[in-house]
Structure 1
Amino acid sequence: MSIQSLKPIFEAENIAIVGASKDPGKAAHQIQKRMIKQGFKGRLFPVNPREKEILGLPCYPSVADIKERLDLIVICVPARAVLSVMRQAADREDIKGAVIISAGFAETGIPQQAELQQEIVEVARAAKIRVFGPNCIGVINTRISLNTTFSPGCDALPGDIGYFTQSGALGGSLIMLALDQPYPLGYSKWAHVGNMCDVNNLEILEYYGQDPEVKVIAGYMEGVPNGRELMILADRITRKKPVLLLKVGRTDIGSKATFSHTGTLSGSDKIYDAAFAQSGIVRVNTVDELIYSAKALSMAPYPAGNRVCIITEAGGPGIIAMDELGSDKSVRLAPVTEKTQEAIKEALPPMAMVCKPNGYIDMTAAAMEKEHMDTLRLVLDDPNVDSAILISLPPTFLPAEKLAQEIAGVIKEYKKPVMVCFMKGEPMLAARAYLEEAGIPTFDTPAQASRALINMTKAAARLDFQGSGFSDVGKAAGKAHQLVEGAAKEMRNLLEPEAIKLLSDYGLRMYPHFLVNSREEAVKAAKEIGFPVVLKIVSPQIIHKSEYKGVRLNLKNEEEVAGSYDSLVGHIKTAAPEAEIKGVLAAPFVTEGIEVIVGMIRDPQFGPVVMFGSGGIMVEVFQDVSFRVAPFSKEAALQMIKETKISQVLKGIRGEEPKDIDSLANLLAKIGDVAVDNPMISEMDLNPVLVLEKGVTVLDARVIIGE
């Protein structure tokens, strides 16, 4: 159904509460009471065959007995009665939505209850009724005081944040935390999806993305029904408005054995991190971080860049802010101009530390209102500063509220965000409330202020993004390669010569090689390749050759090649008698260049995911890796490389010439294309890949075929 089918629910004018009750201990009573108290703009119709009126409103025996038009029904009856109510709703032909508060369906794990839920879905779909739940508390639209929840503290205070949640209790806590700020933080919409038998969290995300009343989207997710759909949707939305997500839990990559380094390293949480960043979602780690980041994005102007200046009147809190900013590469300390530095020195007491390091200003506790104002104005006026953090714990001789009034005037002169940290406590509460009422976000701690600014900077960098995002790159897969199809039919992995052929056909530079089956052929191949060479066993049963000592390196002449061929084949026949030997691969022994690893694994939620990192046998120890969901652009691949420590080595250190990072990025993007085109491939492991001063060379290729 169109996403616009949710609008009649969020904008409902006439609502029936089925299972209405006079008992304050019942959810239906609390829902009706809250709607009346908060001034719902539409009409409520309580439904209970045993009551004449509830909370001053006439009661109806059934949904069928209500003669007026209905937009939405809120169902609060036992699970066994819900299907009957839905059939009555379907017969009316005017109801557009249902919020099923009732529990006891698929979430119980009982097959009969899951079947009952499915019957409800079928009735609803036939009648084109959208369903929230079951086992949910529904929706809030603060503009019309629509509120189907019974969670405590979920009052309606208009604002511009849109919340969605897979947990009713956690979702209610988000509102309570937001309203418990020094000046209550309002919101526009709120939705809990419950069992997601119909409406799911991705639909809410899309609806908020189109809703002009929602400026910032904040969500709590426990699972993703379709990771690639989430990425395509978020890639589009985050170019227009920020999306903050608190994602908890872990996905299961699969119970089968993992054959590649990539599979070993690709914990599902790392893939979520990569997928979210790739599609513009700002991932947060705690409930508090979700709220204070949403507050910053809701209140403050967005920064034009990532250059941050810290202004503090106390050293300790300032260092905490420095540590937090230093933990994330999305921001950096602002390179304040010398002119600004000199002006700040003149404005502050002699003991102040100005730009040591650059971008950090410790005004000291001697700074009064004027020093705060002058320093802040000079910093915000500097063209090299995009945003600022102001940290203060005003002493008793500097009234906090008076200081707040003075700095608020300065902040409002500029279209640059300022995160104000007046440390949490009763003496600071009035000052913070004044600032937040003026639209200036405040924070309990320096770490909170810094993290909020980091998240704001990430979100702002994505707005009006014109580059290639996930939804722009290679939506349609090409034709699967014949080698992959053939191996899949035979239920085996690709042999290394086949893997080399596959990658070569995709335009990747592979090493010269020969598949030989005798010592004479091995010697002939080595002479053609040129010494030194390497010999590698080729067997469908041997995935990791090093574990079976299935490789002979640095063979410098014909005698070494001949002897090594015999010893290699003989050893494998003894060490792995069940292994079918298809031959021996002869290839050049290469030592120049920087070793890296490139891999791919197929994730249950996101599909093919490409990994890059430091190569060699120690990759699993150091875990210097980054991930991207395929397909992705060359630009995304360059960023992927930049996220690793090995990227510094590739740039050239200690007099070494820089390596061909551009060709490496092409390789990464191309491996993504291979994975998208060939869904039968479950894992790929290219380790090592040598990055040379010109070009890259894949020295070992492993391609695993899945079920």
Structure 2
Amino acid sequence: MADPDESPVGPSMTPPRSEATALDPFFIPRGCAVVGASRDPAKPGHQVLRNLRAVGHLGPVYPVNPRERALEGWACYPDLVSIPGPLDLVVLCLPATTIPSVLEDVRCRRRDRQDVRAIITTAGGYAETGTPEGRTRQAELEAFCRQQQVLHLGPNCIGVIDTHNRMDTTFLLGTAHQPGGISFLSQSGAFGAWILQSWSSRPRPTGFNRFVSLGNMVGVDLVQAMTYLGQDEHTRVIGMYLEGYPDPRKLLLTAARVAQTKPVVVLKVGVTPAGRQAACSHTGALAGEDALYDGAFRQYGLTRVKTVEELLDTLQAFDTLPSPSGNRVFLMTHAGGPGVYATDALAALPEIEPARVTGATRQALVDILPPFSAVCRPEGHLDMTASGTAMQHAMALELLLGDAGVDAVILLDLPTLFLSAEALADHLLEAYGRASSRQPPPKPFLPCLMAGKWVAEGRRRLEEAGIPTFETPDRAARAFANLLRHRTLRQAGRRALTLPFPAAGGEAGRRQTLTEPEVYRMIAAEAIPIAPWRATGNPAEASVAATELGLPVALKLVSPDLPHKSEAGAVILNLAQADDIPAAWERAVTAARAYRPGLRISGGLVQRMARGQEFIVGGLRDPQFGPVIMVGAGGLLAEYVRDAAWRLAPVDEDMAMAMIGELKAAPLLEGVRGGPPADRAALARLVAAVSRRLASIPDLVELDLNPVMVGPAGAGCQVVDALAVRLSPE
């Protein structure tokens, strides 16, 4: 749908709106009409009115129902045209088949009164059905809104909520309108309802600012909503439930800009691996939509979470916890087994280190705690045993928060008959207040009060004071790790925003697999290091080339029909004598033609043998993401190990170093069994150079350099095999 600001209908129609106010008609309307309003509790039109009343909406509300005189205390009107006051927002709570007649009323108001600036369509029955009728109905709705220059949300959505401006157009049950700093975007109405009702069911409902259900995204989509929330003064963190987006690069660019000032937390679904049937290379087989999204989120500074629990916890942590100054966490508990469980959870997160307190703090803890307490055994851990009182918990917390070696404290507790959650919460609040005022700024404190309803009141008291609580220590640990990661992610996003942003493009044309010599010539422009090689036409030429290149060498057949030569026996390694070349040539030809009868052989390639750690560097031109770059564990097992990191191309060397650091194979670069460290910097330079080449050749759809032999530090790296696929005109 066209942006209303680009081609206004006329000077008397909706004026241009800035990004900061573009969606205001949904949240701060001068008047809101609910078409399909009803007194039947089973109808969405009834629940929308109930929620507008429950949230305390301050503006005029106009129920539209020709059979009623008043609903929920608001006068009813037979149609939109009859409403006397200014009207910004129309909420359509009607079946899809009846909506066209209402749109004619919208057309009349636009013509005669120049109002109705936004529409929310809750009904399904549009393109999501996959039927021709549904697609046609959606196209007609989109065309109407574009022609009338009306903002539109939906169809197939549940509407919006704004706790600060007291707006709720949803038909959900029991939403607690607790103001806070979280704003949430959802492509699924049902998932959005799950989040809202999860927030509302906590001991103290989680505060949030704005909620937007996008539905089929006719009109307002993720990019426009993200941009708007990025400018919203009440939004401190943005959550997003993402199924997919037709232009992911545009979405990433928008979210990266927002994430420079507000964390963006994403739950991406649809992660089951789908094979790329057209893929020819190892790189293509390693790719998948989720792998590309995961790498892109890291590159552009977005925090990805994997579960609903992690989403809820991370959003609340960003909204309420102070920013951590470091990653040193101290775990205090009075429960032995759960404390061990929590220690394992913390150790599993590489972002977190155990805090080491001073000798003075350690002795002070010993002095105030029960005699059998385990203090700093291990480091960063305190088990005060079940004898610990609420006062002792408070004194220990105050000591730990005052220690310069502690950046955050996680508390793990269970209620007992002699330690109530309420008393514990009260003492902890006093201690946290004293510690924060004595040594500002405050440090993150993450209490885990376990046992469901038995600790509900204690959790409520803590959260009323602005301290988030967690149900389990592993959830607290993951939330804190995400706070720590955000600093690194934001720096990555800032760097990514400085690099070129190539268009995605698509695959059009005939796929042509290049031979190894053709690939080497194509990548030569970036001075990519390739082990010395020579193309030859016969065994005699190959023997001469071997002598000139320096023995030992590898002999490979060159054929446009053989993208993977090793499995066909078309590669002979470690030939130490030039006289061995002719016989090796014949063996390779015999094996390859047995593997694929009728194989075309255009010659051979002789290459000096290289040594080092085997990695793979490659890339694709994805139809949605455009050029993408990959580095991973290489060699014959690349597809089976599936150890790879992805980014959108191009990347710089710092970004390439971060990619390498994500690999399970990265420790190989530090040296194996006493061997010297490998040249990680050279591998990063190669990744960056390949990414530039991928971005600069629009018809290059696959590139596979495998293996890349990474030598000792300072010795560089060398490509020893290559495959590429380009598009040629039909």
Answer yes or no: same fold by TM over 0.5. Answer: yes
Change (3 A) 1:490 1:131: closer
1:313 to partner: Cα distance: 1.3
Change (3 A) 1:348 1:461: farther
RMSD, aligned α-carbons: 2.3
Q: Pick from 669, 685, 702: which aligns with 1:683?
A: 702
Q: Which runs of 5+ in 1 are unaligned?
A: none
Query: Would the aligned equivalents of 2:248 and 2:624 in 1 still touch at CA under 8 Å?
Result: yes
Matched residue, 1:80: 97
Q: Pick from 663, 666, 671: which aligns with 2:690?
A: 671
Question: 4+ residue stretches of structure 1 with deviation over 4 A?
Answer: 251-255, 460-463, 488-491
3-state DSSP of counterpart to 1:149: coil
Matched residue, 1:469: 495
Q: Quick check: 1:437 aligned with 2:464?
A: yes
1:433 to partner: Cα distance: 1.1
Q: Which runs of 5+ in 2 are unaligned?
A: 4-17, 437-441
3-state DSSP of counterpart to 2:512: coil
Matched residue, 1:118: 139
3-state DSSP of counterpart to 2:23: helix
Matched residue, 1:453: 480
Give a deviation string over 1:653-706, Cα, whole Å, max 9, x none: 433221211111111122222222223222222111111122110111111235
1:207 to partner: Cα distance: 1.6
Q: Quick check: 1:127 aligned with 2:148?
A: yes
Q: Pick from 344, 349, 352: which aligns with 1:323?
A: 344
1:383 to partner: Cα distance: 2.0
Matched residue, 1:56: 73
Separation of aligned partners in 2, 1:705 and 1:256 = 16
Matched residue, 2:293: 272
Change (3 A) 1:697 1:703: same
3-state DSSP of counterpart to 1:365: coil
1:99 to partner: Cα distance: 0.2
Q: Pick from 287, 305, 311: which aligns with 2:308?
A: 287
In the superposition, the TM-score normalised over structure 1's length comes to 0.94
Separation of aligned partners in 1, 2:69 and 2:417 = 62
Separation of aligned partners in 1, 2:698 and 2:101 = 44
Change (3 A) 1:288 1:476: closer
Q: Pick from 378, 384, 405: which aligns with 2:405?
A: 384
Matched residue, 2:47: 30
1:139 to partner: Cα distance: 0.7
Matched residue, 1:555: 575
3-state DSSP of counterpart to 1:683: strand
Matches within 5 A, 1:478-517: 491-517=511-537
Query: Would the aligned equivalents of 2:69 and 2:76 in 1 still touch at CA under 8 Å?
Result: yes
Q: Pick from 643, 660, 666: which aligns with 1:624?
A: 643
In the superposition, the TM-score normalised over structure 2's length comes to 0.91
Separation of aligned partners in 1, 2:479 and 2:207 = 18
Q: Quick check: 1:595 aligned with 2:621?
A: no
3-state DSSP of counterpart to 1:493: strand
3-state DSSP of counterpart to 1:472: coil
Matched residue, 1:168: 189
Change (3 A) 1:280 1:319: farther
Q: Letter of the 1:428 partner, please give it.
A: V
Separation of aligned partners in 2, 1:65 and 1:670 = 66
1:461 to partner: Cα distance: 4.6
Greater shift after overlay, 77-86 or 441-450?
A: 77-86
Q: Pick from 657, 662, 674: which aligns with 1:638?
A: 657
1:587 to partner: Cα distance: 0.7
3-state DSSP of counterpart to 2:325: coil
Change (3 A) 1:655 1:365: same
Q: Letter of the 1:100 partner, please give it.
A: T
Separation of aligned partners in 1, 2:349 and 2:488 = 14
Separation of aligned partners in 2, 1:662 and 1:477 = 29
Change (3 A) 1:319 1:271: farther
3-state DSSP of counterpart to 1:389: strand
Matched residue, 1:609: 628
1:254 to partner: Cα distance: 6.6
- Matched residue pairs, number? 698
Query: Would the aligned equivalents of 2:32 and 2:87 in 1 still touch at CA under 8 Å?
Result: yes
Q: Letter of the 2:572 partner, please give it.
A: R
Give a deviation string over 1:448-486, Cα, whole Å, max 9, x none: 2222222222235545x48743222123589x9xxxx9x
Separation of aligned partners in 2, 1:252 and 1:406 = 50
Separation of aligned partners in 1, 2:625 and 2:370 = 56
Q: Pick from 309, 331, 334: which aligns with 2:330?
A: 309
Give a deviation string over 1:351-394, Cα, whole Å, max 9, x none: 22222332222222222233322322222122222211011114
3-state DSSP of counterpart to 1:214: coil
Separation of aligned partners in 2, 1:441 and 1:38 = 24
Matches within 5 A, 1:536-555: 536-555=556-575
1:331 to partner: Cα distance: 2.0
Separation of aligned partners in 2, 1:459 and 1:281 = 8
Separation of aligned partners in 1, 2:563 and 2:502 = 31
Q: Quick check: 1:108 aligned with 2:124?
A: no
Matched residue, 2:228: 207
Query: Would the aligned equivalents of 1:216 and 1:298 in 2 still touch at CA under 8 Å?
Result: yes
3-state DSSP of counterpart to 1:442: coil
Aligned-residue identity in percent: 39
Greater shift after overlay, 615-624 or 515-524?
A: 615-624
Separation of aligned partners in 2, 1:467 and 1:238 = 8
Query: Would the aligned equivalents of 2:92 and 2:120 in 1 still touch at CA under 8 Å?
Result: yes
3-state DSSP of counterpart to 2:77: coil
Separation of aligned partners in 2, 1:255 and 1:655 = 40
